Structure 1
Amino acid sequence: MAAKRVGEEPSFILHRYNWSESSLILEVFTRHRGRVALVAKGAKKHTSNFRPVLLALQPLNVTYTLSGDGNADIHVLKGAEWAGGHIMPMGNNLLTGMYLNELLMRLLARDDPYTYLFDVYGAVVKLLATQQGEVIEPVLRAFELILLRELGLLPSLHEETLTLQPLQPDASYVLVPEMGLRPALEVDRAALTGLQWTQLMHALDQSDGAYPAAVRACAAVASALKPQLRHLLQYHCGSPLLRTRQLMMDLQTL
């Protein structure tokens, strides 16, 4: 029986590692099939057509055959073409892109599709290739919120998690692992008002444009939101510390 073939699947490579002297294993985020593992046979050879194409943070269309009955852990890459659109992010934006890839590697189960998350990821990667500076911060916070929301890891942002009491618009609240949203204490340096959390929740609930709405909502609160989301994401990623986060912190101390 002929192997089932998946053709021209929109994809991004999240990670790659050696499989043999000439081949690679690719962790790929696909639009319709989620995160999949593919073996690229002969990809390390100088004559391979795969060599210049199999790059992270680049939109690709991949074709592969499903191993066994389709439930195998690793499938066989048959073709890959650059889908065009933008160049490779550089500098700090390249590190940021690697951070996004590590998040997806740590949090996404294989063969679990997230079509909307894929589209948002593609939009963020394109922005990383074309923009610099402060415009990136609200975009990253919006992506982190959408990632947590899509995975079912984000608590409701319009009520206290433990008491289920509605947020008071002028009161301050913080988002913490295990406890969700709780009233801010004097020691909490990063907090948002109940109104700001509610606005973020409303943005995420926009069925026809959650990503742009979330970016707009994050613009005014990105700095206070950053440490809270990072702690929550690290909690769900588990130990050890995200390698890209450690690298960024090390670079800041140079």
Structure 2
Amino acid sequence: MTAHRINHQPVFLLAATPWRESSLRLEVFSRRYGRVALLARSARKRQSELRGVLVPFVPMSASWYGSQELKTLHRAEWLGGWPQPQGRALFGGLYANELLLKLTAREDPLPELYSCFAETMRTVCTESNHIAALRRFEWTLLTQLGYAPDLQHDAHGAPVETAQTYWLSPEEPPLPLAQAQGLTQQNAGVAVGGAALVGLREGCFDSPAALQDALKATRLLLDFRLPGGIKSRQVLQQLQAFQTAV
């Protein structure tokens, strides 16, 4: 448990749900305390000072108190920095928020992940091309939580090479595709270029093909951890299907 009173912590709002008549129950992600559940009393009242402050995707400062899992929000200040995301970028922000909500444990400090998330939110909100930032965030999340395979070496201990193609399975090191034999039929996995694996490891993608392969890799690993699916991705896919149909 954290200390009884925490002041002026940088946080991002991940989710807010109504609580009783006029309050909100919040999930925030903080640099020093990880994901924290907060009760924002009277936040839904028209005259509440919190109405324009408790918004997702942008940094804010929060102060809270309490020794139970659900803390009480004492003060919140909007720190600004960038506008709210629009269009497809909105789904990118919702997607990153959902991953943090579903995969992180409460009050588990992950300062490196917080820094990556903050940079991802800035990119999603301010740059038209934010796909690489989302791949970097996914990989940082998987790495920080201990879910990422070793991409330095393949299953035989040889260095991963950009010119090779590998078979990637959850909880297994990459295996050169030529040596995978029947695994491509028996095991859940995807064929991924070595350039994508190196790109994930280093956070830099040298081609659209490597970026697309990186998506295949992170999607495989995330879906393995979230068999119930990722709602924000499903909604975006449904919206795209509807737009195509009309």
Counterpart residue number, 1:179: 172
Question: Residue 158 of structure 1 is aligned with which of 152, 156, 175?
Answer: 152
Partners of 1:141 and 1:215 within 8 A in 2: no
User: Displacement, 1:236?
Assistant: 1.2
Question: Residue 149 of structure 1 is aligned with which of 134, 137, 143?
Answer: 143
Q: Which runs of 5+ in 2 are unaligned?
A: none
User: Displacement, 1:250?
Assistant: 0.5
Counterpart residue number, 2:236: 248
Counterpart residue number, 1:231: 220
User: Displacement, 1:159?
Assistant: 2.0
Counterpart residue number, 1:118: 114
Instruction: Encode CA deviations 1:95-142: one digit per residue, 9 max, x unaligned.
Output: 11000000000110000011111111111111111111xx31211111
> How far apart, CA to CA, are the structure 1 residues paired with 2:198 and 2:86?
35
User: Displacement, 1:183?
Assistant: 2.7
Query: Among the aligned pairs, what percent are the same residue?
Result: 33
Root-mean-square deviation (Å)? 2.2
After TM superposition, list the pairs within 5 Å mapping 1:88-237 onto structure 2.
88-132=84-128, 135-161=129-155, 163-167=156-160, 170-184=163-177, 190-193=191-194, 197-198=197-198, 200-201=200-201, 203=202, 214-216=203-205, 221-237=210-226
Counterpart residue number, 2:9: 9
What code does the residue aligned with 2:5 have? R
Q: Which runs of 5+ in 1 are unaligned?
A: 204-213
What code does the residue aligned with 1:32 have? R
User: Displacement, 1:51?
Assistant: 0.9
Which stretch shows the higher mean deviation, 96-105 or 218-227?
218-227
Partners of 1:200 and 1:218 within 8 A in 2: no
> How far apart, CA to CA, are the structure 1 residues paired with 2:34 and 2:125?
23
> How far apart, CA to CA, are the structure 2 residues paired with 1:12 and 1:148?
19
Instruction: Encode CA deviations 1:170-194: one digit per residue, 9 max, x unaligned.
Output: 321132224342233697875212x
Change in Cα spacing, 1:219 to 1:141, as seen in structure 2 (3 Å) is farther
Partners of 2:152 and 2:160 within 8 A in 1: yes
What code does the residue aligned with 1:246 have? Q
